[in-house]
Amino acid sequence: MSKVLVIGAGGVSSVAVHKMAMNPEIFPEIHLASRTVAKCDAIAASVKQRTGQTVATYALDAEDVPATVGLIRAIGPSLVVNLALPYQDLPIMDACLEAGVDYLDTANYEPKDEAKFEYGWQWAYHDRFKEAGIMALLGSGFDPGVTSVFTMWLKKHKLKTIRTLDILDCNGGDHGQAFATNFNPEINIREVTAPARHWEKGEWVESPAMSNRQSFDFEGVGPRNMYLMYHEELESLAKFVPEMERARFWMTFGDEYIKHLTVLQNVGMTRIDPVIYEGREIIPLQFLKAVLPEPASLGPTTKGKTNIGVIATGEALDGSGSKTFYIKNICDHEEAYAETGNQAVSYTTGVPAMIGSAMVLTGKWRGEGVLNMEQFDPDPFMAMLNGHGLPWTVEELDGPLGF
């Protein structure tokens, strides 16, 4: 019987655990551990009420490797699903190696003292995972995650080669707050204040954060400003789709969000180096997180939709010349909240975390070593998206984006 141990008890975890409990044939036994056990208990209570399933809960500091190994050995799961923060990726991978159990996450490792995320640290575990006969599946959220699966589906069914790729991430939700982030504020602000980077002709091209703005009319949302950003799936896509001439990632931000972020940055509140305050060290960005609304608290008030998709251009598989396809999902914040008690940003990440876990547990995706989403057959994952709350559509466009 396959048991799963989920680590972390934020919004993404809450969705993933609810969705696992709704699929007991794949997830007959769910264990949930996090730093604050009360948050695990709250998720377990909601799961019980909504599905009747029982979730066992534990307090765990996942940066304490021996404690994590001890918990894994006591439970004996087939898979550890890391839905804590990117800082915990390496300690949890260390624990999985020691205990000999498969690993899955949704975001790549990031050191606390440097706003830099890349797969290098985790890819360095490949040989050790392979030797241990276990697998790590990296980045099974929406972006990264579904965006890579969308791309590989287009490559399998529509395009022989992909010349240009644009990933478009729009959150058209309105939470009614002057300023809030829709997932962990510390991770979110580190991501959006980093310089933009895109892949062009075999190298990374860097530009200042938020300096390239374009308008795009998103179905279900309307016209929005989107900004060129760096995002981690660009790294794995550049590796696994080597013929790509250009790959870019765009995310929408409202003017109010940009205004607040600019002020916070200018006054130093987004700094991640320690400053002395009343005789003790504090990290301004961590202090800022403490005063911002918890993303989970935005669920009841958020209205509107998310629209995340991929536009790819290349040579058609059927020999009909150059073609452009747009593949996307539209998710409604209020519907997501009604189903799991969490808004659509957590929902669009937690559902793919559940599906990636199902791929590993059912053996549909199997390998040894540290592996990315691009390395597996997209079809069974795409089929589950349709059946578990994130339906997708594909359409042909006249051509690639005009900018």
Nearer to ligand NDP, 36 or 322 (CB): 36
Burial of 226 (0-12, 13-18, 19+ CB in 10 A): buried
**Phi, psi values for residue 309, rounded to 5°:** -160, 180
Judged by CB under 6 A, the number of residues near ligand NDP is: 32
Coil, strand or helix at 349: helix
Q: Among 29, 95, 104, 141, which residue sits at the site for ligand NDP (rule: CB under 6 A)?
A: 141
CB 171 → ligand NDP: shortest distance, Å?
Answer: 11
Q: Among 144, 284, 314, 378, which residue sits at the site for ligand NDP (rule: CB under 6 A)?
A: 144
Cα dihedral sign, 151-118-95-282? negative
Let me know the angle formed at the C-alpha of 162 by 156 and 164, rounded to the nearest 5 degrees: 145
Burial of 379 (0-12, 13-18, 19+ CB in 10 A): middle
CA distance 260 to 274: 22
Nearer to ligand NDP, 292 or 316 (CB): 292
Burial of 393 (0-12, 13-18, 19+ CB in 10 A): exposed
Q: Please identify which residue in the block is written with the tokens 């200042």.
A: 208
Q: Is 86 in the site for ligand NDP (CB under 6 A)?
A: yes
**Parallel, antiparallel, or unpaired: how do β-strands 305-315 and 322-332 relate?**
antiparallel
Q: Is 371 in the site for ligand NDP (CB under 6 A)?
A: no
Q: Among 23, 34, 270, 340, which residue sits at the site for ligand NDP (rule: CB under 6 A)?
A: 34
CB 101 → ligand NDP: shortest distance, Å?
Answer: 17
CB 34 → ligand NDP: shortest distance, Å?
Answer: 4
CA distance 117 to 187: 10
Q: Is 151 in the site for ligand NDP (CB under 6 A)?
A: no
Nearer to ligand NDP, 257 or 316 (CB): 257
Nearer to ligand NDP, 23 or 346 (CB): 346
Q: Among 172, 295, 309, 378, which residue sits at the site for ligand NDP (rule: CB under 6 A)?
A: 295
Q: Among 18, 31, 39, 155, which residue sits at the site for ligand NDP (rule: CB under 6 A)?
A: 39
Q: Is 329 in the site for ligand NDP (CB under 6 A)?
A: no
Q: Among 17, 20, 60, 99, which residue sits at the site for ligand NDP (rule: CB under 6 A)?
A: 60
Q: Is 170 in the site for ligand NDP (CB under 6 A)?
A: no
330: Cβ–Cβ under 8 A, 6 or more apart, which residues? Answer: 219, 220, 305, 306, 307
CA distance 19 to 27: 9
CB 283 → ligand NDP: shortest distance, Å?
Answer: 14
Q: Among 23, 53, 151, 184, which residue sits at the site for ligand NDP (rule: CB under 6 A)?
A: 184
Q: Is 349 in the site for ligand NDP (CB under 6 A)?
A: yes
Looking at 18-26, 32-40, 219-227, 369-377, which segment touches ligand NDP (CB under 6 A)?
Answer: 32-40
CB 337 → ligand NDP: shortest distance, Å?
Answer: 15
Q: Is 392 in the site for ligand NDP (CB under 6 A)?
A: no
Q: Where are the beta strands (DSSP E) in 74-230?
A: 79-82, 102-105, 135-138, 164-171, 196-200, 203-207, 213-218, 222-229
Q: Which residue, among 242, 201, 246, has the nearest Cα to 228 in the 3D structure?
A: 246
Strand order in the sheet with 55-59: 55-59, 29-34, 3-7, 79-82, 102-105, 135-138, 369-372
CB 259 → ligand NDP: shortest distance, Å?
Answer: 23
- Give the footprint of ligand NDP on this chain (CB under 6 A): 7-13, 34-36, 39, 60-63, 83-86, 88, 106-107, 141-145, 183-184, 187, 295, 349
